[in-house]
């Protein structure tokens, strides 16, 4: 028992060290910039002033520069030579395309999840559904929004995919650039969760094709809701 504990601690420490060791100023700044952009603290189209940000974050310009370049990977910014990096400004067409891409990849992930989900994963998915039902009943959009993100991330995790997961997450962030809350109103939340239930049902019975279709349809519906909002 004692040995188990110490082993547990040791692996914990090792993991923690591993994590800390991977952190560097660039990653730190990167995360902070990403947060600022997604929170709208830096608005769409705005320039990321290297000197100002470096000063603000207490580092030199180099880490800021590299972090900004790194954000390009997620499509959060675009770089113009000799002018700077700017927070991307999504047109409606671009947003619609992002939804299409996300729908395809989400379907792919749901299909894989149906193949790979074990009993624990299925239980966890059920828990997510229940919690989102609760949030929907309370009309707590904030909570539902967070749970929704976690739910889809969880499906991505159990899919066992690599690049597709990263892509899905990246496209998700890109979409959030629009800063437009599609899910609003209790009935909208409930409807969204109905679709979640269909996805989970398909995953639970291991029906990959159905899971793929439901996952894709859920995101396509999201695109339709977005377009209807405008």
Task: List residues near a copy of itself by CB under 8 A.
Answer: 21-24, 27, 62, 65-66, 69-70, 72-73, 75, 80-82, 93-94, 97-98, 100-101, 104-105, 108, 161-164, 167, 174
Residue 224 Cα distances to 152, 172, 185, 227, angstroms: 19, 16, 16, 5
Query: Minimum distance between the CB of residue 163 and a copy of itself, rounded to whole angstroms?
Result: 6
Residue 84 contact partner, candidates a copy of itself, DNA, none, CB within 5 to 8 A by sort of partner: DNA
Q: Taking a C-beta distance cutoff of 8 angstroms, is the pair 129, 200 a contact? A: yes
- CA neighbor of 155 nearest in space, from 192, 190, 225, 105: 105
DSSP 215: H
- Strand-pair partners of 145: none
- CA neighbor of 184 nearest in space, from 150, 151, 135: 135
- Return residues touching DNA (CB under 7 A): 21, 24-26, 47-52, 59-63, 65-66, 79, 81-85
Query: Minimum distance between the CB of residue 110 and a copy of itself, rounded to whole angstroms?
Result: 13
Of 164 and 190, nearer to a copy of itself (C-beta) is 164
First-last CA distance in the chain? 61
Query: Minimum distance between the CB of residue 214 and a copy of itself, rounded to whole angstroms?
Result: 16
Of 97 and 140, nearer to a copy of itself (C-beta) is 97
The conformational region for residue 181 under phi > 0 = left, psi -120 to 50 = alpha, else beta, is: beta
Residue 94 contact partner, candidates a copy of itself, DNA, none, CB within 5 to 8 A by sort of partner: a copy of itself
- CA neighbor of 140 nearest in space, from 172, 179, 184, 182: 184
What is the number of helices (H) and of strands (E) in the chain?
10, 3
Of 157 and 184, nearer to a copy of itself (C-beta) is 157
Residue 108 contact partner, candidates a copy of itself, DNA, none, CB within 5 to 8 A by sort of partner: a copy of itself
Query: Minimum distance between the CB of residue 62 and DNA, rounded to whole angstroms?
Result: 3
Query: Minimum distance between the CB of residue 41 and DNA, rounded to whole angstroms?
Result: 16
DSSP 186: H
Place of tokens 């029906």: 207
Of 26 and 117, nearer to DNA (C-beta) is 26
Residue 63 contact partner, candidates a copy of itself, DNA, none, CB within 5 to 8 A by sort of partner: DNA
């Amino acid at each position: 028992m004692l040995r188990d504990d110490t082993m547990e601690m040791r692996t914990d420490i090792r993991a923690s060290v591993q994590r800390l060791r991977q952190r560097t100023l660039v990653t730190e700044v990167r995360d902070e910039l990403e947060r600022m952009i997604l929170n709208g603290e830096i608005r769409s189209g705005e320039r990321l002033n290297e000197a100002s940000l470096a000063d603000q974050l207490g580092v030199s310009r180099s880490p800021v520069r590299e972090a900004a370049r790194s954000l390009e990977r997620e499509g959060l910014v675009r770089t113009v030579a000799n002018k700077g990096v700017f927070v991307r400004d999504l047109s409606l067409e671009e947003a619609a395309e992002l939804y299409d891409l996300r729908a395809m990849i989400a379907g792919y992930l749901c299909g894989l999840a149906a193949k790979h989900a074990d009993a624990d994963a299925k239980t966890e998915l059920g828990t997510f559904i229940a919690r989102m039902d609760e949030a929907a009943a309370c009309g707590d959009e904030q909570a539902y929004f967070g749970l929704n993100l976690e739910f889809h991330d969880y499906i991505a995790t159990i899919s066992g995919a690599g690049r597709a997961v990263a892509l899905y997450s990246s496209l998700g962030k890109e979409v959030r650039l629009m800063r437009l809350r599609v899910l609003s109103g209790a009935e909208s939340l409930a409807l969204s969760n109905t679709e979640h239930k269909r996805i989970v049902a398909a995953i639970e019975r291991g029906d990959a094709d159905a899971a793929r279709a439901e996952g894709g349809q859920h995101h396509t519906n999201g695109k339709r809701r977005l377009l209807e909002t405008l």
